[in-house]
Amino acid sequence: MIETLIMIYIAICASMIVFDCIFMLIMNIRAGKGKGKVKKIRESLADQLETISEKKELPEKYLGKLMKNLKHPVRLHRFDDALTILTQSIEDGRFALPHAPKGEDDVPLPLPKEEGKRYLAKYLRIIAPSLIAIAKDYRGQDAIVHTYYVLFLRKHGLLQYANTSEIAAHLKDFLEEGDIHVCEHVLQAIYTIGDPVLTADALKIADNRDIFIHPKIISDGLLAYKGDQYALQTLLLDKLSEFSVDMQVNILNYLRFASGKHCLRILDLLLGEDTDDEVKFSCIRYFGKYQYGKAYFVLADFAKNDKGLKKEFCLVSLTALRNYPGEDTLALLRENLHSPNWYIRYNAAESLNALGVDYGEFVDIFDGQDRFSREILQFQFDRRYVKDKEEIYI
Amino acid sequence: MREKILEIVSAFLTGAGSGFVVYLILYSTFLFLAVIVGAWTLYYKNKKRRFRNISDEKYFIPVSIIVPAYNEEVTVVDTVRSLLALDYISYEIIVVDDGSKDSTTKTLVEAFGMKKIRRPIRKQVPCKDVETIYECFDQKVPLVLIRKKNGGKADALNMGINACRYPYFICMDADSVLQADSLIKITEPVLADENVVAVGGVVRPCNDVELENGWVKKYRLPKNPIACMQVIEYDRSFLSTRILFDKFNGSLIISGAFGLFKKEAVIAVGGYDSKTMGEDMELVVDLHKYCTVNKKPYAIKYATDAVCWTQAPERLRDLMKQRKRWHLGLFQTLMKHRSMAFDFKSGPVSFISYAYFFIYEFLSPFIEAFGIIVTAIALISGLINWRFALLFTLLYALFGAMLSLTSFFARTQTAELTLSFKDVLKAMLMCLFEITFMHFVLTYVRATAFIGYRKKKLQWGRIERKKINLK
């Protein structure tokens, strides 16, 4: 019985090793074969670009065959590789049409970069509807393939040539069903379309999904939006209350990195009674980046209150205040150096350092009894010294 | 009367022998399942990579890298240089010199032109006092060197936690090198799940491997048989149980050589325990316990493609010392958290992970030694057919070797490392060598680890350091 069991295990292990060897073999063969097929596709792509350059129509048969072929993920993968190489060679000014005139050394003359880009864009515009149409075939497949299809569309900028409402429907479906990677790539794809309403809708779908999308994927991702950024920002601010608190914070973080044109609306939000604290913190950070006179008094007010629940507001405001130089700010920061809270002292000292204060202005603190404020300030001066590599005090 | 005694002895030997065989079968089954799950996971990940199912944009989560060092003057500069070359933007490097007796601090200060700075450090977790702090800002990312009073590795890590400014930190060894994409890979689970409190990376021996700019330029198995055997052993370990345990959030170990932690969670459990030798395992078990008791949703993940290259000891003496330390660390952690043993509220982490570590990691050297002795007596006294015993031993060895080989192949193939024919043959031989020779040496080492236990407490594990083959 035991022997039989072990024999079975050994048989399975041996078959796994055989699997490993076959896998290795297949991968090597596939890589070799794949290279040949990618080369063939590249040649076919060059032929199509030549047809376009001659102002002729692409044969209908070609589009039908392409659509049929690219329903298969491995073939889509090869097409992607061929298209990537072609795009790169056009970018580098190395691409030559198959029947291009030859130069002195009998090598076909490369196409001027701009001309190549124009033909490629036209080619992509022609094939885009066929490639979007196969979205329904990819929807049913597993998440890996599903994600890859969206990535492919985005990577080659095919979405901008498609009918927005048609592709929007597909992308929204993907967003509602896909895993985290699908969502990430769909959102990126939507940003490339540059439609503010579609983007806001997509964010709402993502917000309502029961999956975690890291704040960075939203806030950093929105910066890649290809359309009118101001129009998107205004729309997102208009619809802000429709989003969850987490999404509101992500949108405000995006606004902070993108534009300082929304100070008045952000101030309203900061002063709003119903605004969540987390959202308010984001608003304060916004004013830490973009100076806005009317916000100063609010920030200063927060910085004066380092007790209880308001401690967090004080902390964030102290960092923001480095953007508001002046006697009052210096006095406020100086006062906070004596706070019993380590982080408040730290932020105050860091802001003082950012404001470029002199060592001489703080002799009272360096000679004083408050060791904690002295240490934290000393650190900031030391740090500036190390950074600037110059002696700023003795 | 004599017959009765003989009968009892015979019954005992038969019972013990059968028990030992059952133990081996259960262990084999578990390992077999683990290897299958591990290999499947790696192939699936490979498919994902082929179809570029990875974050296309690089979302950089800021991390602090803590490098505890003790007498590391030979390797520390190379380690820091390799960290500065990582394919990542948002990070800081904190080297903590735990009162080295050699010139670790001096070497670093000179190599990077670091400047002394008076920096207050808020002690959120206990650690020994600071002696001097150096910083420099003219590198790609901030580099901090803290020289402190000697207190052991855990104490040095705690100092790093106190000094780091980002919400996640990475702990690593001063003799290790992170692969260029390792930070991107190890932070991926954090991007995918907000409840992640820790992520373990893969540790692979780099003896005789050529690394260039954080990437493997030439992969080959080490010439030294002891190091070579460890390559096989590491690959099996990081492919099998770790991936299996990861499936049910049951990882109990994140290697001290490469792991990412959420600072807030680590501070909540009081940081690393400087009283244990296995501070890495202890911290992970502590995190499990803390989150379960406080009903906090949490996940401890394993990033199968975040690679750290480390030096495996090449001398048997060094290897024995290292394994003794690991075994004592395991014992201390299991004892400290013994309440987890039958705590069904903790879920599979208790009745699978804890049970596995207790029976098959901690007790295994004793069970195996006992089993071998009993089998030998039974064989001598003719209670077992020697042909059966020989066949069983051979089959078991072959089975173990096959599992190791499967893990090794799965790991190298999915990491796209090219093996020469010579290395394939070498790997096969090493798998047999490991199961027929090294396994027994290490069983002996682990079984005798408790001799001189008190003396070894809280010392840094030392092995002979060599320069890593970096370009």
Tell me if B91 is assigned to some domain: no
Its pTM stands at 0.86
A313 falls in which pLDDT band (50, 70, 90)? very high
Q: Is the dihedral of CA B440, B446, B450, B454 positive or negative?
A: positive
Judging contacts by C-beta atoms under 8 Å, the chain A residues touching residue B410 are: 20
Question: Rounded to a whole number, what is the distance in Å from the CA of A88 to chain B's nearest CA?
Answer: 18
For the cut 70, the answer to whether the pLDDT of residue A306 exceeds it is no
- B264 vs B274, residue with greater confidence: B264
For the cut 50, the answer to whether the pLDDT of residue A394 exceeds it is no
Distance CA B71, CA B83 (A): 19
B56 falls in which pLDDT band (50, 70, 90)? low
Q: A70-74, A248-252, B65-69: which has the minimum mean pLDDT?
A: A70-74
Tell me if B161 is assigned to some domain: no
Q: Which two tokens stand for residue A60?
A: 């209908």
Judging contacts by C-beta atoms under 8 Å, the chain A residues touching residue B403 are: 13
What is the phi-psi region of residue A174: left when phi exceeds 0, alpha when psi lies from -120 to 50, beta otherwise?
A: alpha
- B contact residues 94-123, partner A, Cβ 8 Å cutoff: 115, 117-120, 122
B469 falls in which pLDDT band (50, 70, 90)? low
> Helices in B276-381 by DSSP H: which ranges?
279-293, 316-336, 348, 355-356, 364-380
- A140 vs A393, residue with greater confidence: A140
Question: Rounded to a whole number, what is the distance in Å from the CA of B386 to chain A's nearest CA?
Answer: 14
Tell me if B271 is assigned to some domain: yes
Rounded to two decimals, the ipTM of the complex is 0.78
Q: What is the mean pLDDT of residues A66-79?
A: 90
Distance CA A379, CA B280 (A): 32
The 10s digit of each residue's pLDDT in B427-454 is 989 998 888 888 889 999 998 988 866 6
Q: What pLDDT, on the 0 to 100 scale, is given for residue A180?
A: 77
Q: What is the mean pLDDT of residues B7-17?
A: 80
Q: Do A12 and B32 touch (CB under 8 A)?
A: yes
The beta-carbon neighbor of B55 closest among A184, A224, A342 is A184
Distance CA B229, CA B234 (A): 9
Q: What pLDDT, on the 0 to 100 scale, is given for residue A393?
A: 46
> Which chain B residue shows the shortest CA-CA distance from A155?
B56
Judging contacts by C-beta atoms under 8 Å, the chain B residues touching residue A382 are: 117-119
> Which chain A residue shows the shortest CA-CA distance from B57?
A221
Tell me if B460 is assigned to some domain: yes
Given CB atoms, is B57 within the 8 Å cutoff of chain A?
yes
CB B255 within 8 A of CB B203: yes
Q: Do A212 and B194 touch (CB under 8 A)?
A: yes
CB B99 within 8 A of CB B131: yes
The beta-carbon neighbor of B405 closest among A17, A145, A148 is A17
Tell me if B62 is assigned to some domain: no
Mutation target to probe the B interface, by most B beta carbons within 10 A, among A25, A28, A155, A181 is: A181
CA-only gyration radius of chain B, Å? 23
Given CB atoms, is B130 within the 8 Å cutoff of chain A?
no
Given CB atoms, is B52 within the 8 Å cutoff of chain A?
yes
For the cut 80, the answer to whether the pLDDT of residue A184 exceeds it is yes
B464 falls in which pLDDT band (50, 70, 90)? low
Q: Do A217 and B59 touch (CB under 8 A)?
A: yes
Q: What pLDDT, on the 0 to 100 scale, is given for residue B288?
A: 95
Q: What is the mean pLDDT of residues B424-429?
A: 90
> Helices in chain A by DSSP H: which ranges?
2-53, 60-69, 73-91, 113-133, 135-139, 143-155, 164-177, 180-193, 196-208, 215-222, 229-238, 245-258, 263-271, 277-289, 293-304, 311-320, 327-336, 342-354, 363-366, 371-388
Q: Do B61 and A217 touch (CB under 8 A)?
A: no
Percent of chain A's residues with pLDDT above 90: 36
Residue B272 structural domain: 1-54+175-471
> What's the mean pLDDT when you consider all of chain B?
87
Tell me if B155 is assigned to some domain: no
Tell me if B76 is assigned to some domain: no
Percent of chain B's residues with pLDDT above 70: 94
Question: Rounded to a whole number, what is the distance in Å from the CA of A151 to chain B's nearest CA?
Answer: 8
Given CB atoms, is B145 within the 8 Å cutoff of chain A?
no
The 10s digit of each residue's pLDDT in B233-252 is 998 888 888 899 999 999 99
Q: A284-293, B64-73, B397-406, B442-451: which has the minimum mean pLDDT?
A: B397-406
For the cut 90, the answer to whether the pLDDT of residue B66 exceeds it is yes
Q: Do A6 and B399 touch (CB under 8 A)?
A: yes
- A contact residues 215-274, partner B, Cβ 8 Å cutoff: 216-217, 220-221, 224
Judging contacts by C-beta atoms under 8 Å, the chain B residues touching residue A11 are: none
The beta-carbon neighbor of B21 closest among A2, A77, A224 is A2
Q: A112-121, A200-209, B134-143, B369-378: which has the minimum mean pLDDT?
A: B369-378
Q: Do B413 and A217 touch (CB under 8 A)?
A: no
- A188 vs A305, residue with greater confidence: A188
Distance CA A232, CA B401 (A): 61
Q: What pLDDT, on the 0 to 100 scale, is given for residue B65?
A: 97
> Which residue's structure tokens are 């060598």?
B433
Judging contacts by C-beta atoms under 8 Å, the chain B residues touching residue A143 are: 53
The structural domain count of chain B equals 1
The 10s digit of each residue's pLDDT in B332-347 is 999 999 988 878 778 8
